[in-house]
Structure 1
Amino acid sequence: MPKLNGVIETALYVDDLDRARGFYQGVLGLVPLTSDTRFVAYDIGGRNVLLLFHRGSTLETVRLPGGTIPPHDGNGPVHVGFAIAADDLPAWEERLSAHDIAIEGRTDWPRGGRSIYFRDPDQHLLELLTPGVWTVY
């Protein structure tokens, strides 16, 4: 059986793309790879891509010179976890505080990892995870 080698893209659907850009670029420091009126794509650690789609803008097939992208969309708050170095956790807590972002939860995991949880402007639950949360991280 062929195997999967990783998750390359994660998509979130947002109500206001400009507001979301302000949060992900201004608070989390992400740099856009590409964007248009429907979406913005961000590099995550040089290995993954976070896609922010304006909710409802991808309900029809997108035709590109190389092929097509089928319709997709999503509703409601979802969850994304971002890997961070253990030593960076205090700096992230300070950065979130400086931007008036409330930390909603903290967890010390049995394997030694730690997580903090907070929300983006569309109420998606974001998590910063240090090594030791999962056996694979």
Structure 2
Amino acid sequence: MSDAAPPLIGTLESALYAQDLEAATRFWRDVMGLQPFQTVPGRHVFFRVSHSPAQVLLIFNPQATEKPPAPDAKLPVPPHGARGPGHFCLAVSAQDMDRWRAHLESRGIAIEADFHWPNGARSIYFRDPADNSIELADPAIWG
């Protein structure tokens, strides 16, 4: 028997935390173009990032999710939550970075940083309404 971990096939979901889920929904839907596909008011809103491969952004209200599940919960998800700004990065083609910057600025989103990494790949940083650090990056940053 090997001590090596079994293979992983990718990232399925990422989570950010926000107390104001309505503001989060407006931002991720109206500014970032992601469609919500599941919402529980006061608890969470989930957005599909891509279908193939399946990638999902989960936005949770930590006040709701840090509580343990009820003993009879249908889905006994363990408690979780975070306080303070998180980070989430979306891949954007190098050719679309200028379009994204213009799109964000046209919607009043302040650009926190826009630079090229030592290998030439570019990242743009800004904040969502919950103060999470959001990055749009050319995937070549890790190439």
Q: Is TM > 0.5 for Structure 1 vs Structure 2?
A: yes
Alpha-carbon distance in 1 for matches of 2:23, 2:46: 15
What SS is found at the alignment partner of 1:29? coil
What is the deviation of 1:5? Answer: 1.8
**1:45-124 map, 5 Å:** 45-46=50-51, 47-58=54-65, 59-61=67-69, 63-64=73-74, 67-124=75-132
Alpha-carbon distance in 1 for matches of 2:108, 2:123: 19
What is the deviation of 1:52? Answer: 0.4
Alpha-carbon distance in 2 for matches of 1:45, 1:9: 11
Q: Give CA-to-partner distance per residue, 1:10-36, whole Å, 9 cap, x none.
A: 111101000110111111011012111
Gaps of 5+ in 1: none
Structure 1 runs of 4+ aligned residues shifted over 6 Å read none
Gaps of 5+ in 2: none
What SS is found at the alignment partner of 1:57? helix
Deviates more, 1:103-112 or 1:120-129: 103-112
TM-score by length of 1: 0.91
What percent of counterpart residues are identical? 39
Alpha-carbon distance in 1 for matches of 2:104, 2:60: 23
Is 1:6 aligned to residue 14 of structure 2? no
TM-score by length of 2: 0.87
Alpha-carbon distance in 2 for matches of 1:72, 1:131: 29
